[in-house]
Structure 1
Amino acid sequence: MTKIISDNVNGEPININFGLTLRTPPGCLPFTTDAFLLSAYISRPAGTFVRAAELGAGSGAVSLLTVCRGTADTVTAFEVQPELYEALCQNIEENGYSDRITPVAADIRELTPSIYAGQFDLVFSNPPYLRPGTGLSSSSRVSDICRREVLGGIREFTACAAMLLRYGGMFYAVYRPERIVTLLRALSDVGLELKIMTYVYPDANSTPSLVLVGARRGGGEGARITAPLFIYKDVLSEDGCREETDVFREIYEKGCFPEGYVLR
C-alpha cells in the first residue's frame, strides 16, 4: 500500500472523507490511498441514472465514496469474506446509504449471468495483486485473501466485470505497475478496451507504486496515458515532514481528479 490515510483502532469507526465513517475488522486492511484514488478516478458516465458494481468491496470505502460523490446513483457491492461483508453492511447502514448501496455476499467467480449480465454502467475494483506464495505473508487470513489471488485473480475479476457491464460501460481498477502486462492482457481478452491510464508515484525520484486504469466494454482502439501523479514533493516542509503535492491535495479535498486526468 502507498500510504494510510486513516487507521482504525479496535474496530472503532474512522473518518475517511466527506463526513463518511468506516469500520474495519481488526487485523484487516485499513483505508488506504489505493482505495481513495480509485474512488476519485471513476468518472460518471452520461445517463440519467447510473448503476455501478464493486467487485471485492471489502468494508465498503470505495462504494461509499462513489455514491457520496454522485459518481453513481446505486452500487451493488459484492464481497465474499464474512468478516468484511459484516463490516460492509454495518458501514452502509451507519452512513445512511442503505437505499443506494446493496451489499451482496458472493464469490465474484460464481455470479449468475441470468441475473447480472449487462446490468451495470460502471464496475470498479481494487483486486488482489499478489500471486499465491509471493510477497510477505500476513498474520491475518482476511488481509491475505484481499492481497493474494486466492479467490480469483485479475483474469477472474476482468471476466466478471465484462459480464456485468452493458455495452459501452466502463471498468475502473487500481493495480500494481509491475503486473501491468498481465492486467492489459486480461482486459483485452474479455473485450475491455483500455481508454485511460495513470501511473502514481510516491515522488519524482521513485518508481511508480500504483497504476489506475479505465477500460470500456466494446470500446475501439485508442487510449490516453495521462501525466503521472506524484503524491509527495521532492523537498521537505519546514518542520521536516514530507509534503503532499498540490495535485494530490486537490484530489483529496475535492474527491476527484483534475480535468487532465478525467475520461471524457
Structure 2
Amino acid sequence: MTEPTAPDETLDSIGTAGVRVLQRRNGYRFTLDAVLLAHFAASENTGAPRPILELGAGSGVVSFLLVKQFNLGPVDALELQPAVHARLQRAVVLNDCETRVKPLLGDLRRIRELVPGGHYAHVVSNPPFRMANAGVRSPDDERAVSKSEVACDASDVVAAARYALTPGGTVSLVYPASRVAEVLGLLTQAKLYPSVLRFVHSRVGSPATRFLVQALRDRDRGLVVRPPLIVHGEAPGGYSTEVAALMDPPLAERVSPLSGDTGD
C-alpha cells in the first residue's frame, strides 16, 4: 500500500509506540526537543488521564507521543499555520488518534476565542526559540514562524497557558538555556510558579543548551532542580541510555540533535 504522502512530504516514525508524522521534505522538521518535552511532561505528571492542550503543535510529535507512548490526554493540538495544521489532521488518522488528539487551527494570542478558560489540567509547548530580531529570518514562512518569535513570543505563550489551565494545573515548556531567567520570570509574573527545572546538556561536561520547566497555576510549592539530562553517550545511535530508551533505534539516524533549531 502506498503511503499517503505528497511529493514534497516525508512520513517519519518516532518513539517506541509507532508514532508517525508528516513533514515537508525540504521544510522545517522537528528535532529532539519535542521528544524530550513529551517525556518531561509525562514523567513529572502521573495519575488518571486529563485534558491537555499543546500550543504550537506543528507536526504533532508531542501530542502523539503523549497519548500513544505515555498514555496521557486527550490532547487538543493548536496550530497557527493552515498547511501545517492540514498535515497534522492527516497524521491524526494515520496514528488512529481520532478520539485522542483533536487538531485546532488558530492563533494562541487569540486563545480566548479558541478554547474555554480554565479547562486544561496540563498545557505543553515547544515554542519558537529565536527572538524575532535575532539573526536572519528564514525566507521560508513556515520555517520562520516555527523557529522565530514572529507570530508569538514567550510572554504570549505564558499568557495563553495561564488562561487555559485549571487552578493548580501544570504547564511544561522547553527553551534555550540562555533564556532561563527570562522565562522563569515571565512564569512567576503570571502566577505560574516554577516547580520542576531540568537542564539539557549535549554531553557530560558541556554547557547546558536547553532547559525543561514545569510550573503550577496559582500554587507555589517551591522549585525542584532535577539532575542534568545528557543527550549523547554510549547507547544505540550515540545517545545516552535515558534518551535512547525514548525512541526506536532508527530515530537516531533521522532526528536532528539539539542545535540552534527546535522541533514541533
Please indicate, yes or no, whether the TM-score normalized by the shorter chain is above 0.5. yes
- Which residue matches 1:29? 28
Give the drift of 1:115. 4.6
Select the residue among 245, 248, 252 that pairs with 1:250: 245
Give the drift of 1:152. 1.0
- Which residue matches 2:261? none
CA contact (8 A) 1:25 1:84 kept: no
Select the residue among 7, 10, 13 that pairs with 1:12: 10
- The sequence identity of aligned pairs, in percent, is 25
Q: Helix, strand or coil for the counterpart of 1:31?
A: coil
- Deviations 1:107-155 (CA, angstroms, capped at 9, x unpaired): 0011226951010001000011111131343242101111111111010
Task: Give the Cα separation in 2 of the matches to 1:47 and 1:244.
Answer: 29
Q: Helix, strand or coil for the counterpart of 1:88?
A: helix
- Which residue matches 2:138? 138
Residues 9, 179 of structure 1: CA spacing in aligned structure 2 closer, same or farther, 3 A cutoff? farther
After superposition, the CA RMSD in angstroms is 2.3
Gaps of 5+ in 1: 1-7, 254-264
Task: Give the Cα separation in 2 of the matches to 1:216 and 1:13.
Answer: 36
Task: Give the Cα separation in 2 of the matches to 1:185 and 1:51.
Answer: 26
Aligned AA (1:56) = G
Give the drift of 1:173. 0.6
Structure 1 residues 164-183: aligned runs within 5 Å: 164-183=164-183
- Which residue matches 2:77? 77
- Mean alpha-carbon deviation: is it higher for 51-60 or for 62-71? 62-71
Task: Give the Cα separation in 2 of the matches to 1:243 and 1:94.
Answer: 29
Aligned AA (1:37) = L
CA contact (8 A) 2:49 2:71 kept: no
Structure 1 residues 1-264: aligned runs within 5 Å: 10-17=8-15, 18-43=17-42, 45=45, 48-112=48-112, 115-233=115-233, 243-252=238-247
Give the drift of 1:243. 2.7
- Which residue matches 2:256? none
CA contact (8 A) 2:237 2:244 kept: no
Aligned AA (2:150) = V
Residues 9, 156 of structure 1: CA spacing in aligned structure 2 closer, same or farther, 3 A cutoff? same
- Deviations 1:83-109 (CA, angstroms, capped at 9, x unpaired): 111111111111110111111111001
Matched pairs, number:
241
TM-score (norm 2): 0.84
Give the drift of 1:70. 4.0
Task: Give the Cα separation in 2 of the matches to 1:97 and 1:198.
Answer: 30
Task: Give the Cα separation in 2 of the matches to 1:61 and 1:96.
Answer: 14
CA contact (8 A) 1:39 1:66 kept: yes
Aligned AA (2:87) = A
Residues 121, 242 of structure 1: CA spacing in aligned structure 2 closer, same or farther, 3 A cutoff? closer
Task: Give the Cα separation in 2 of the matches to 1:103 and 1:203.
Answer: 36
Task: Give the Cα separation in 1 of the matches to 2:71 and 2:119.
Answer: 17
CA contact (8 A) 1:50 1:73 kept: yes
Give the drift of 1:179. 0.9
Give the drift of 1:192. 0.5
Residues 200, 136 of structure 1: CA spacing in aligned structure 2 closer, same or farther, 3 A cutoff? farther
> Which runs of structure 1 show a deviation greater than 6 angstroms over 4 or more consecutive aligned residues?
none
Gaps of 5+ in 2: 1-5, 249-264
CA contact (8 A) 1:170 1:217 kept: yes
